[in-house]
């Protein structure tokens, strides 16, 4: 294990150094934490030492920490949001009757003092000198004793005591499947400072952004518990519980009441763990000698599904490595412990009592986040579509590849959901902060579905080969570098040679829609003249097929002038004619087919279904 850890440090730190350039920088943190958990009252105490490296050109006079457990208190911003939003998360409300009407009541609102979450900070020091630290909800604001000048380090120390809330969302105790401790967002976590400044977002509902660094964590807990989570266990032959080396039998000294688990997690931006007295712990080898850990309740009704899941996730990781790039760590843990599924560094907390198909879908999605959220790590609070959407894309792609019967378009359901959102009139641009969507459903469709379509539709725009190369190059160029929306666009431009600024702007920064139609089909001598119209604001290149009465097929391609690009023929077996380009300002476009109208059976705009045209009816002209 220690050899693996050393190699991981070398590999990851080399990657981080390679990522640096004269124009790019990022902050760095090194955490050391010792925590003791009291499993009788679900309270814990700890100390934290954090070495903070300021690689920016700014002199920092303040720093900010996230105190996520404070969200689970009556009157918190999270509680207020649950009460004010039209469609609150069903997991976070109780349905009650008020004056004979069904009402959704915030579960946080009714928490008792012994059920709330909290994280209190004391004895905050900078380089041994007491500093002023002020708590405001889920944020700790620290006024520094001395400014942190560029290219310098400082050491913060603090004491913390917390209480694990009854699980309502993600973190918590005693969830609906009986898992005792789901320790996500549990420690004082320094906020991200980057080229945009501080990202000290209050914890209201959505996602996260963090600073990469190294975690050295000791967790002392009742000896009956098994733990799984981020990092590499350093004292596995003292702990056992399925971690011990082959052939080692672990015997605890008599009267052992607690065990101290020592984890090290290199180059991650988060540290998460879960614990239960009734976990089964299996380990299987994944691709590139990665250990895949599975922690699940010893429940005869569900254990069989978890056993079947194990070889499937080996295949999923292999597909992801080939589709995106190699997973850079040496372990990943699938842990029954969440309230759905949520990604964390080297692990996921997920529900585990469902069908095999259900837990496979959840595990596949959450594993995909390791690439997009925990290695690339875009700012998921500001651009949730870059993580949730791209993860949804690879999840759908891989599950289709593994299916016995493959779908020609595995993303079809995403397009249908997007069309319904457009029809609802509730769509907001993807530049909307994740916490600022008017309703939960538009957030979900925008982030997961429209974000996925960004990639599947990009394959329509630049070609599938170029899309595949774009995903791999994006990962290689921007891993451990917090990419922004412009970075995925520029990568696609570098790979394909196309100009794609219009694509990013219209799709992600507006609610412009795509709507093309076949306006007229007329016979002119021995030719057929087809008139197309652009109805929606967003422009696109056009793939069009013509099916003839003799059974033959011909395709036509209309480049978009602002792209300065010609896509390769996606179906080389079918004759394709490349027509003159179409400009955005011209709402109509006319071209001729060198056959009479009587020979034509059907004309279709985008037979692939990968262009997100919001009104499909006018995309087909058919002579019956």
Three-state DSSP at 277 gives coil
Q: pTM (2 decimals)?
A: 0.94
Answer whether residue 8 shows pLDDT above 60.
Answer: no
Q: pLDDT digit string (tens) for 155-175?
A: 999 999 999 999 999 999 999
- Mean pLDDT throughout 333-361? 94
Full DSSP string of 20-63: --SS----EEEEEEEEEEETTTTEEEEEEEEEEEE-SSSPEEEE
CA dist 361 and 73 (Å) reads 32
Quote the distance between the C-alpha of residue 454 and its chain's center: 14
CA dist 343 and 350 (Å) reads 9
pLDDT at 496: 98
Instruction: Calculate what percentage of the chain has a pLDDT beyond 90.
Output: 92
Q: pLDDT digit string (tens) for 28-59?
A: 999 999 999 999 999 999 999 999 999 999 99
In which element (H, E) is residue 394 found? helix 390-402
CA dist 370 and 391 (Å) reads 9
* E-assigned strand segments in 1-151: 28-38, 43-54, 60-66, 93-98, 101-106, 118-126, 129-130, 132-136, 139-148
Query: Are the C-beta atoms of 385 and 298 separated by less than 8 Å?
Result: no
pLDDT at 207: 82
In which element (H, E) is residue 6 found? helix 2-19
Give the residue from 249, 365, 228 showing the smallest Cα distance to 291.
Answer: 228
Tokens of 262: 């020592």
Q: pLDDT digit string (tens) for 256-314?
A: 999 999 999 999 999 999 999 999 999 999 999 999 999 999 999 999 999 999 999 99
With cut-offs at 50, 70 and 90, classify the pLDDT of residue 588: very high
Neighbour tally for 420: CB within 10 Å: 13
Full DSSP string of 196-257: TEEE----SSS------EEEEEEEEEETT-EEEESSEES-HHHH-TT-SPTT----PPTT--
Only one residue has tokens 């420690």, namely: 187
Neighbour tally for 213: CB within 10 Å: 23
Answer whether residue 1 shows pLDDT above 50.
Answer: no
pLDDT at 466: 98
pLDDT at 4: 44
Distances from the Cα of 458 to the Cαs of 125, 468, 492, 537, in angstroms?
50, 10, 9, 18
- Mean pLDDT throughout 229-235? 98
Query: Are the C-beta atoms of 82 and 93 separated by less than 8 Å?
Result: yes
Least confident of 206-210, 380-384, 466-470: 206-210
Quote the distance between the C-alpha of residue 159 and its chain's center: 31
Q: pLDDT digit string (tens) for 14-30?
A: 344 344 345 799 999 99
Task: Say which residue, 539 or 99, is predicted with more confidence.
Answer: 539
CA dist 564 and 593 (Å) reads 24
pLDDT at 623: 85
- Mean pLDDT throughout 579-599? 96
Q: Is 30 exposed, middle or buried (0-12, 13-18, 19+ CB in 10 A)?
A: middle
Give the residue from 84, 80, 107, 87 showing the smallest Cα distance to 96.
Answer: 107
Query: Are the C-beta atoms of 376 and 478 separated by less than 8 Å?
Result: yes
Q: pLDDT digit string (tens) for 59-112?
A: 999 999 999 999 999 999 999 999 999 999 999 999 988 888 888 999 999 999
The secondary structure of residue 451, as a DSSP letter, is H
Answer whether residue 439 shows pLDDT above 80.
Answer: yes
Query: Are the C-beta atoms of 278 and 298 separated by less than 8 Å?
Result: yes
């Amino acid at each position: 294990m220690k050899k693996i850890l050393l190699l991981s440090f070398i590999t990851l730190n080399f990657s981080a150094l390679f990522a640096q350039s004269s124009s790019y920088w990022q902050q760095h943190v090194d955490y050391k934490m010792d925590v003791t958990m009291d499993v009788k009252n679900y309270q814990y105490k700890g100390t934290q030492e954090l070495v903070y490296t300021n690689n920016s050109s700014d002199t920092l006079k303040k720093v900010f920490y996230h105190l996520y457990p404070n969200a689970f208190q009556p009157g918190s911003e999270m509680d207020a949001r649950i009460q004010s939003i039209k469609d609150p998360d069903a997991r976070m409300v109780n349905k009650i009757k008020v004056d004979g009407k069904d009402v959704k009541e915030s579960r946080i609102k009714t928490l008792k003092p012994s059920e709330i979450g909290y994280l209190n900070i004391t004895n905050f020091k900078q380089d041994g000198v007491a500093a002023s630290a002020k708590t405001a909800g889920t944020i700790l604001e620290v006024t520094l004793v001395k400014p942190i000048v560029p290219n310098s380090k400082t050491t913060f120390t603090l004491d913390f005591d917390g209480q694990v809330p009854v699980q309502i969302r993600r973190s918590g105790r005693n969830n609906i499947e009986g898992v005792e401790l789901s320790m996500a967002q549990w420690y004082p976590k320094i906020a991200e400072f980057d080229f945009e400044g501080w990202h000290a977002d209050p914890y209201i509902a959505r996602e996260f952004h963090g600073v990469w660094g190294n975690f050295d964590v000791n967790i002392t807990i009742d000896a009956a518990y098994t733990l799984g989570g981020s990092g590499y266990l350093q004292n596995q032959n003292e702990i056992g519980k399925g971690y011990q080396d082959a052939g080692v039998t672990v015997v605890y000294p008599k009267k052992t009441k607690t065990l101290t688990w020592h984890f090290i997690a290199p180059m991650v931006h988060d540290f998460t763990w879960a614990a239960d007295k009734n976990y089964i712990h299996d380990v299987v080898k994944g691709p590139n000698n990665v250990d895949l850990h599975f922690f699940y309740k010893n429940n005869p009704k569900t254990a069989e599904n978890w056993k079947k899941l194990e070889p499937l996730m080996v295949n999923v990781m292999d597909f992801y490595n080939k589709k995106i790039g190699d997973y850079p760590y040496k372990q990943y843990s699938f842990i029954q412990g969440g309230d759905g599924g949520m990604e964390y560094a080297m692990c996921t907390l997920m529900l585990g009592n469902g069908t095999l198909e259900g837990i496979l879908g959840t595990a596949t999605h959450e594993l995909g986040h390791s690439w997009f959220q925990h290695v690339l790590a875009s700012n998921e609070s500001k651009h949730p579509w870059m993580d949730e959407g791209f993860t949804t894309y690879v999840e759908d792609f891989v599950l289709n590849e593994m299916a016995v019967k493959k779908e020609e378009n595995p993303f079809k359901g995403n397009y249908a959901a997007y069309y319904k959102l457009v029809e609802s009139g509730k769509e907001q641009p993807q530049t909307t902060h994740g916490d600022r969507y008017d309703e939960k459903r538009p957030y979900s469709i925008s982030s997961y579905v429209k974000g996925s379509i960004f990639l599947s539709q990009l394959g329509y725009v630049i070609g599938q080969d170029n899309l595949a190369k774009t995903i791999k190059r994006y990962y290689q160029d921007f891993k451990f570098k917090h990419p922004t929306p412009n970075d995925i666009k520029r990568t696609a431009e570098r790979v394909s040679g196309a100009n794609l600024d219009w694509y990013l702007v219209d799709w992600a920064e507006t609610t412009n829609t795509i709507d093309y139609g076949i306006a007229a089909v007329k016979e002119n001598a021995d030719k057929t003249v087809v008139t197309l119209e652009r109805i929606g604001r967003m422009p696109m290149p056009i793939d069009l097929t013509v099916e003839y009465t003799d059974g033959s097929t011909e395709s036509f391609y209309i480049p978009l002038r602002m792209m300065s690009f010609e896509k390769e023929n996606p179906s080389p077996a079918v004759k394709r004619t490349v027509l003159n380009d179409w400009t955005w300002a011209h709402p109509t476009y006319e071209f001729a087919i060198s056959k009479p109208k009587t020979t034509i059976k059907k004309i279709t705009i985008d037979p692939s279904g990968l262009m997100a045209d919001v009104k499909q009816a006018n995309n087909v002209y058919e002579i019956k």
